[in-house]
Each structure stands twice: as C-alpha cells, then as structure tokens.
C-alpha cells in the first residue's frame, strides 16, 4: 500500500493530522514525471466511505491514465473544516476536489484567482469538450469556470409506490397529485397488506424538506427550484411562490388524514427506508434509484413487494406542466487546479488530459464496478452483476464519488429496477427546473443563508403540522426578509444583471 494511503486511513479514522502532513499535499511535490515516465499527480480528495480503497483498482487507473496518483483523503464529515484549513495554509495539491461551492472561503478563493480558469481549454480535449454549455454555465462563478465540473444526474427524484398494494386496492398508477392523494388514503384505510389490522399508511417520509417528499411534490405544484427570476431580472425565493403554499396545504391534508407517517418531521432517512421495507407504508418520495435498495431491504420481510416508479405526476393533469426540481443543476462540485501547485499552462494541460481520461468508459467502469472477473461479471448487453459485494465496497466503492461524470455510458447495472430508474432519471432531465442563482454570488447568502433558512424550514413544518396558519407563515417570510433575505435578493439581482445584462 502506498505511503499516502496509510496516512489517509488515519485521517478517516479521525486522527488529528494537518492537511499539509498528508501524502499528496504541497510538501509531496508538484505534477511532473515519475521514474517510470508517468505523470505525477497529487489529489486532495473527499472520502465518502469508512476507509480508503486499496491499490487494486488504483493501479489499473494509473496504467490507463499514465499517471502516478497520490491521494490525500479528507473524510466527508470534516470536509468543510479541512478545506478551509487547506486554503488558509496553502497546503493544497495538483487537483483539489471542491464539493461545497456555497462555502464562503471556497467561493472567495475561486474569485480571488487561487485556481486556474479552465473554460478556455476544455475544447482541446474530446471528453471535456462534450461538457454542455448549460453545465459549464451552472458550474461557473461570476461567468468563469474555475475547474472541471462533477457532472451528476440533473434531476433524480420521483415517486416509488408499492405496485402490489395498488393492485390490492384496485387503483391505477397515479398521474396527478389528486390521484396520488387517493392512493395514500387507500393504503391507509383499505388494509393493502391484508393482515386485518389498520397498521399501514400512505407516505413514509423523513425530516428533510429538500430530499424528502416536500420538494419533489412542490415541483408538481409548479414551485421554482430554490429561486425564480423573471424577464426583468427580479428574483423571488421559492417559498413566496403559490406552488409552495399549495404543497404545504397538500402535506397538511396528508398529515391530518393520517395518510403520512405522523412522525415524518423527526424521522431519519435510514428509519424511513427501513419502515417502508417492513411494509409500514406504500409511497416513498426521493431518488428513484433508491428503489433497488428498498427492495433489497425488504427481502425476507416483504418478499411479495413489487415496486413501480413514477416520474410524470403533475397537479393539473397536463403534460405541459410536467416539472421536477434539480439538485445543484447537475453539478456536484469542481475538480480545481491551484496556481500554487500548477505553475504553468503546460502543467495545467497535463492535468486536464488526466481528467479527460478519467471520463473515458474504461476508467468510469473501474471507478464504478471495478475489475471484470474480480469484482463483477458483464453480459453481452453490458449489464453488470457484482460478484462479491464486500470486496466491491472495500476496493471500488470509495472511488465512486471521484468520477467526474456519472451518466452517458453503455455499461450499466443489471438490476431491472436500477435500469428503469436510470431511464426515468434520464427522462427527467427534459423537465428539470434549474436553480437560476446556482452559479451566482450573494455574500450574505454565503455567510447567513443556512441560518436564515431555518426560519423558513421551521415555519413550513409548523404550518404542515397545523401549529400556525398562513398569516403566521407569511410573518416568518417577512422576518426572513428583514433579517437578511432582502439583502440576499438584492445581491442576487445585481449578480444576475452583471452576468446576463438585465
């Protein structure tokens, strides 16, 4: 195992190490050539698993990309603190993974020219050239692209329903919010599991207004994605939109009718999924690819479970009103190149070539599934079956979050639910509602946005739970505006005008 992996493992276990002491930091040298002719690359990266991978897959990646890669892994739980420390102490690497683009230190560093602007170079490399203009724009800061964007699924959410329960209560797959409400009511009142007890409900939700049911449902009611901007450049937050109030009313009616788990406001995601898998509810709103995990969790508990995924629900029944919110406009962060490490254009282009190579199908396969015959088998249709889940989790899974691109490849999971989820998620992209403020700068939002949002989140829950009325909710919005919201809006409007000329 390489020296830096051992140190990274210590990081992952919570040891108090300075970033500058990790292999791959500024002290370990800049990009150049190693003794075997490979390009030496240090990479300050985020670790989303309990421990770093072994060298098994890494060796293959290095062979294909002709690179000698040294990782410095930062545990995801401490990424904000450690990235801030790294920026402040200038202990960076040739490549730095930046996933918290709304962090004020990160945005200030990007705007201050700490990292190379890469926009002018993308078209020199075939895989980088294929990055769409919408993606480039969304990943830019004040109109400039300071790294290669992590290309994620643009809109992955939808509704997962117990198809076997639908058949039991005699209802079709819902296409409108009213029909979905009737399904929730039937799942609560008509004993869909046939055990003679009134122990089921419609929705199984969790304490998350974004990745739980609320934001997806709000898409169906026409709510914008975080912010809206009109032709004159006027910016409005989503919670001042009529669709937001309609969504609160909808969830309030679900709650009052008992058609959603009554503790949804304090339920964790793991409990939500376990409860659904145990047959306590029949509707799950979230990432469509969660369906595979839900069915796996149900094995031995709800063996008769059959799931159907729905991505075309509207509140009006009109196809023209179809919409789904986008998480981060399909941007998962940036692979950025600090000027302190990457001294000239020639070094930058070597690193851009490396990232270009990471986007190939061959390397994507390694970072997603591992090595054929060792970690997986594949059929003639390029459908993959993992051979040993434990081995895959140890040697392959830690690389997954480091893939610069996650979609558009032929090789795919063999699981039928995953195949269907991927198809629906790809279809979602045509109806995705993007956040128009995603790439723009509001200093007040960067410094106070999260704290201010708590006012709206609390008021939203209180409204749904029947503790306050509409006037009190509007008073909370007024409080948000007075405490800094008006300043955020003014800053976004100025930033939008600067970039768009409006």
* Both tokens assigned to 206: 């969790």
CB distance 304 to 194 below 8 Å: no
- Alpha-carbon span 363 to 285, nearest angstrom: 32
CB distance 81 to 307 below 8 Å: no
- Alpha-carbon span 184 to 293, nearest angstrom: 22
pLDDT beyond 90 at 172: yes
170 sits in which H/E element: none
Q: What Å distances lie between residue 92 and 10, 16, 71, 340, CA to CA?
A: 19, 17, 11, 8
* Both tokens assigned to 312: 């075309």
Measured in degrees and rounded to the nearest 5, phi and psi for residue 385 equal -125, 125
**SS3 call for 75:** strand
Specify the pLDDT at position 33.
67
Pick the residue with more confidence: 204 or 105? 204
pTM, entire model: 0.81
- Burial class, 56, CB count within 10 angstroms (exposed 0-12 / middle 13-18 / buried 19+): middle
CB distance 262 to 205 below 8 Å: no
439 sits in which H/E element: none
- Alpha-carbon span 349 to 148, nearest angstrom: 12
Least Cα distance to 279 among 355, 194, 354 occurs for: 194
Pick the residue with more confidence: 245 or 36? 245
**Mind listing the pLDDT tens digit for each residue in 326-372?**
988 999 999 999 999 999 999 999 999 999 999 999 999 999 999 99
pLDDT beyond 90 at 214: yes
Measured in degrees and rounded to the nearest 5, phi and psi for residue 433 equal -105, 115
What integer best gives the mean pLDDT of the chain?
Answer: 91
- Burial class, 370, CB count within 10 angstroms (exposed 0-12 / middle 13-18 / buried 19+): buried
């Amino acid at each position: 195992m390489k020296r830096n992996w051992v140190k990274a493992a210590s990081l992952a276990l919570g040891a108090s190490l300075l970033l500058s002491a990790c292999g791959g930091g500024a002290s370990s040298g800049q990009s150049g050539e190693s003794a075997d002719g490979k390009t030496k690359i240090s990479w300050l990266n985020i670790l989303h698993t309990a421990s770093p991978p072994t060298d098994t897959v890494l060796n293959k990646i290095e062979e294909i990309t002709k690179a000698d890669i040294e990782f410095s892994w930062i545990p995801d739980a401490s990424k904000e603190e450690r990235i801030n420390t790294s920026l402040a102490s200038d202990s960076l690497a040739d490549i730095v993974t930046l996933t918290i683009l709304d962090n004020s230190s990160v945005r200030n560093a990007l705007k201050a020219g700490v990292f190379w602007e890469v926009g002018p170079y993308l078209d020199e490399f075939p895989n980088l050239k294929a990055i769409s203009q919408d993606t480039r724009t969304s990943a830019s800061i004040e109109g400039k692209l300071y790294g290669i964007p992590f290309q994620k699924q643009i809109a992955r959410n939808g509704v997962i329903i117990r198809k076997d329960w639908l058949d039991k209560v005699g209802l079709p797959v819902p296409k409108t919010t009213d029909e979905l409400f009737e399904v929730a009511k039937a799942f609560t009142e008509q004993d869909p599991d046939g055990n003679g007890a009134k122990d089921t409900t419609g929705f199984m939700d969790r304490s998350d207004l974004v990745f739980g049911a609320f934001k997806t449902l709000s898409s169906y009611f026409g709510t914008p994605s975080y912010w809206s901007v009109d032709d004159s450049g006027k910016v409005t937050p989503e919670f001042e939109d009529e669709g937001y109030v309609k969504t609160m009313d909808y969830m309030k009616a679900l709650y009052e009718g008992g058609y959603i788990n009554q503790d949804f406001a304090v339920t964790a995601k793991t409990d939500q999924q376990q409860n659904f898998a145990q047959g306590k509810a029949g509707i799950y709103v979230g990432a469509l690819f969660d369906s595979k995990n839900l069915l796996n969790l149900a094995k031995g508990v709800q063996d008769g479970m059959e799931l159907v995924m729905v991505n075309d629900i509207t509140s009006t029944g009109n196809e023209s009103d179809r919409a789904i919110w986008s998480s981060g406009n399909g941007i998962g962060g940036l692979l950025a190149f600090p000027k302190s490490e990457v001294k000239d254009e020639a070094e930058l282009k070597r690193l851009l070539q490396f990232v270009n190579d990471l986007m190939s199908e061959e390397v994507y396969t390694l970072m997603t599934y591992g090595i054929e015959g060792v970690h997986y088998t594949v059929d003639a249709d390029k459908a993959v079956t993992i051979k040993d889940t434990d081995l895959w989790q140890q040697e392959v899974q830690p690389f997954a979050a480091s893939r610069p691109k996650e979609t558009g490849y032929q090789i795919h999971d063999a699981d039928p639910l995953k195949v269907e989820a991927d198809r629906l998620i790809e279809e979602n992209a045509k109806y995705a509602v993007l956040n128009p403020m995603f790439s723009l700068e509001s200093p007040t939002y960067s410094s106070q946005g999260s704290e201010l949002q708590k006012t709206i989140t609390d008021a939203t829950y209180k409204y749904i739970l029947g503790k306050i009325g509409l006037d009190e909710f509007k008073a909370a919005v007024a409080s948000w505006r007075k405490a800094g919201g008006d300043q955020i809006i003014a800053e976004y409007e100025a930033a939008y005008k600067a970039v768009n000329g409006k």
